Structure 1
Amino acid sequence: MELFAGFTLLQLAVALATGLVASFVRGLAGFGLAIILVPVLALALSPVEAVLTTNVVALLIGGTELPRLLREAEKSAWTIIGLVFLTTLPGLMLLAATPPDLARLLIALVALSAFAAMLFPVREPEQPGLVTTGLTGAASGLLTGFAGMPGPPVVPYYVGRAIPRQMAKSSMILIFTFAAMIGIGSGIAIGEMHWRLALLGAMLLPVVIFGTWLGRKADGRVSDRTWRIFVGLVLGAAALAALVKLL
């Protein structure tokens, strides 16, 4: 039975519950909104709807934090954002042309790849070279379009280095906010961004704000090592849950 903008009660319940969990992880880890929300939403909505709804939520919540993000983010974030702008539209076009079941499987595998990248040892704090940064930005844009997940390349780039936790979190969230805006623009360009998805994203915003607040409260109680372990566990659990459901 349709209750809101063409969505059923089950779809709304899945979106609200997953949004709360994903935003708590976002507040604690600095990422996780898309990596958790997209694979689960894609089981209740079409993959394209899941990606674009998550982009709406990410843009709205990131916009409320923009002044702080601009102060704290590493300069490399702007290079990555520029490359995301160039590569998001091709990724979204590929998603629109991919059969839904295959797209769901690939999205789950993308989340799993981020977990695998977190298994590498923590690197020195120095910013990686232009090639590494460029590949990170290009991959992030393609995955923003195809999976609504700019995070899998970006999380290891920042969390895998011995830089201050707050700088890593702010850099990632700044990228995710701009990636969401670019993703929505790409959705409009190919005719896949519909008003009902914007409404669903806006409806999720209060839940996401509350969950993010809870996550930040918890963040002050954990060490950097515990934080990095938590990041890895979240990535692995989200990917495995989506894969088990699909298979």
Structure 2
Amino acid sequence: MEFLDGFSAAQIAVAVAATLGAAFIRGLTGFGFGILLVPILALALTPVEAVLSINIMAGLLALTEIRLILREAERSAFVIGALVVVATAPGLMLLNATPANLARLLIALIALSAFFAILLPKRGAAQPGPITTGAVGLSAGVLTGFAAMPGPPVVPYYVGRDIPRMTAKASMIGIFGISAMAGIGSGAAIGVLQWRIVVLGLALFPLVMLGNWAGSLAFGKVSDPVWRGCVGVVLGAAAIAALVKLI
């Protein structure tokens, strides 16, 4: 396939399988697309290629869910999203300057940190103060650029509180959509977004839609405790799998 010149058959096969699975989890939990997919794709592609291709897919997916975001998301999601835009470019520049093997290790450790964060005691429904919210937004932006993973600070912020899971899911989807757009823009601005990465992201997007649709069907059929348990399992499995592959 000429439009995927530059990628081997093995790279494309890994991307297809991992994308479909990660999209299903994203539809079920509202997150996990980058956390699951970056460590796997970063073993088949360069870390920069993996991060940018995932941002393309995640950004397009968020655009298809804009009505859900505007209707259900907590207002804090838009504050955090704005801060993500500010902090994404520095994170991507840091990734571009980091040796590939070290970047892969750091990405795996970032995924592991999200798992431990979700194990912290559940808090009340009250929205955290501006300092906590600001720290979540800025750190999510840096992680968006470095690993296409705004999830480690964002997921505990919402899932760790006693709020409706639809509110948590819509808020996370909104932030991740903004972060994906910021990642794409930052990649283009600093000159690391190549056309073949764009083509790969567009080619995989139908699989993202399929997997996300299937996961969304499952979302409506599980209880809140089961859903929160799935969140923890996804985070832990993604981190362990990435670390095992590196070791």
TM-score bucket of the superposed structures, by smaller chain:
over 0.9
Q: Distance in 2 between matches of 1:235 and 1:76?
A: 23
1:103 corresponds to: 103
Tell me how many residue pairs correspond in the alignment. Answer: 247
What TM-score does the superposition give when structure 1 sets the normalisation length?
0.98
Q: CA deviation at 1:220?
A: 1.6
Q: Secondary structure in 2 aligned to 1:7?
A: coil
What is the CA deviation profile of residues 41-98 of structure 1, one whole-angstrom value per residue up to 9, with x for unaligned ones? 0000000000000000000111111122111100001110111111111100000000
Asked whether the 8 Å contact 1:2–1:8 carries over to 2, the reply is no
Q: CA deviation at 1:3?
A: 7.7
Q: Distance in 1 between matches of 2:63 and 2:235?
A: 24
Structure 2 residues without counterparts, runs of 5 or longer:
none
Q: Which amino acid is 1:220 matched to? A: G
1:12 corresponds to: 12
Asked whether the 8 Å contact 1:55–1:148 carries over to 2, the reply is yes
Matched-pair identity in %: 62
1:115 corresponds to: 115
What is the CA deviation profile of residues 14-60 of structure 1, one whole-angstrom value per residue up to 9, with x for unaligned ones? 11100110000000000011001111000000000000000000001
Q: Distance in 2 between matches of 1:11 and 1:2?
A: 15
Q: Distance in 1 between matches of 2:145 and 2:220?
A: 33
- List structure 1 runs of 4+ shifted beyond 6 angstroms: none
Q: Distance in 2 between matches of 1:44 and 1:162?
A: 38
1:48 corresponds to: 48
* Superposed counterparts of 1:1-247, under 5 Å: 4-247=4-247
Q: CA deviation at 1:5?
A: 3.0
Q: Which amino acid is 2:38 matched to? A: V
Asked whether the 8 Å contact 1:122–1:162 carries over to 2, the reply is yes
What TM-score does the superposition give when structure 2 sets the normalisation length?
0.98
Q: Distance in 2 between matches of 1:33 and 1:206?
A: 14
Q: CA deviation at 1:205?
A: 0.9
CA RMSD of superposed structures (Å) = 1.2
Q: CA deviation at 1:2?
A: 8.2
Q: Which amino acid is 1:177 matched to? A: G
Q: Secondary structure in 1 aligned to 2:193?
A: coil
Asked whether the 8 Å contact 1:2–1:9 carries over to 2, the reply is no
What is the CA deviation profile of residues 83-136 of structure 1, one whole-angstrom value per residue up to 9, with x for unaligned ones? 111111110000000000000000000000000001012110111000110000
User: After alignment, is 213-222 or 100-109 more displaced?
Assistant: 213-222
Q: Distance in 1 between matches of 2:166 and 2:197?
A: 31
Q: Secondary structure in 2 aligned to 1:238?
A: helix
